[in-house]
Amino acid sequence: MADLRVNVAGVEFKNPVIPASGAFGYGREYEAFYPLSKLGGLSIKGTTLEPRQGNPGPRVAETPSGMLNSVGLQNGGLEKFLSYELPNLVTKDTRIIANIAGATIEDCAELAGRLNGTAVDMIELNISCPNVKHGGAAFGTSCESASAITAAVRKASDKPLMVKLSPNVTSIADIAKAVEAEGADAVSLINTLLGMRIDIKTGRPILKNNVGGLSGPAVFPVAVRMVWQVANAVKIPVMGMGGISTWEDAVEMMMAGASAIQIGAALFSNPYAPVEIIDGLNKYCDDNNIKCISDIVGTVKPW
């Protein structure tokens, strides 16, 4: 058996496979299939200061090789997470990544500050959220706003800080370098690509929000490219995601430079995807005489 342990920003995960925020909730439903202790960790449902109902439906649509969603960060708020979800998660023998989101820098900084001293292992800052104080543009679409929110959250918390990057930008490597400069300990990417579907019978968008985030196998090549670009631009670890469905995808993403990977849309068609990927990584390492899975990180050989 290979050593599947990986280290991301000082946090050791027993294996590199982590369900992504928004796709796995808090893991309660998936325990009907396997113990959460099998996972390297899990990134919790995006959490805001106050409870959110999310966007009106329809808010999920199928696409060729993927799905669109505009769920809108539906969650029970920070207090419910701290009082109800976290006490359950700490009993599961897996790493806990607290994904946080807010409409203002101040919201995100307060969230991070209140997670200090809790049992979460890492904060994942979602900078794809609209900045309501500056016309609704996402924090992660400019180096200036990405830097500002990262600096504020870094100041508010001592927890390892991972910033989740938006792919809806001109140069994701520049955004990664900007957050690294302001104290990010790691970056995760990619968040969803902006997409749209139209019902040709009604002439209306299928999603009530008109547009939504595209995920699933269709985005995988884009994600691999962006992970490779970012891994070659920064010195901090990269956590890769975007369309990973199989262990082969996971190996490819790690070769591109990801120290660990997250699984999202694949869970909706195959709830066993994370454990199948873990088993596949084990066999791949054994078959290729690889002692430590981390040895494959960044080993792609560009022409």
Residue 131: per-residue pLDDT? 60
Quick check: 265 and 66 in contact, CB under 8 A?
yes
pLDDT per residue as tens digits for the range 174-205: 999 999 999 999 999 999 999 999 999 999 99
Name the pLDDT band for 136 (thresholds 50, 70, 90): low
Please give the structure tokens belonging to residue 49.
């200061």
Residue 207 included in any domain: no
Amino acid identity at 30:
Y
Q: Rounded mean pLDDT of the chain?
A: 95
Residue 83 included in any domain: yes
Please tell me the distance from the alpha carbon of residue 100 to that of residue 192, in angstroms, as a whole number.
Answer: 16
Residue 65 included in any domain: no
Catalytic residue numbers read: 129
Q: Which distant-in-sequence residues (6+ apart) come within 8 Å of 18 by Cβ?
A: 39, 40, 41, 42, 43, 95, 97, 239, 260, 261, 262, 263, 274
Residue 124 included in any domain: yes
HEC string for 39-87: CCEEECCCECCCCECCCCCCCEEEECCEEEECCCCCECCHHHHHHHHHH
Domains held by the chain: number:
1
- CA nearest neighbour of 120 among 110, 111, 128: 111
Residue 61 included in any domain: no
Angle at 74 between CA 64 and CA 171, to 5 degrees: 55
Residue 211 included in any domain: no
pLDDT per residue as tens digits for the range 253-262: 999 999 999 9
Residue 69 phi, psi (nearest 5): -140, 145
Of 130-134, 203-207, 223-227, the range with the lowest mean pLDDT is 130-134
Task: Give the domain range for residue 88.
Answer: 6-55+73-196+216-296
Residue 132: per-residue pLDDT? 59
Residue 140 included in any domain: yes
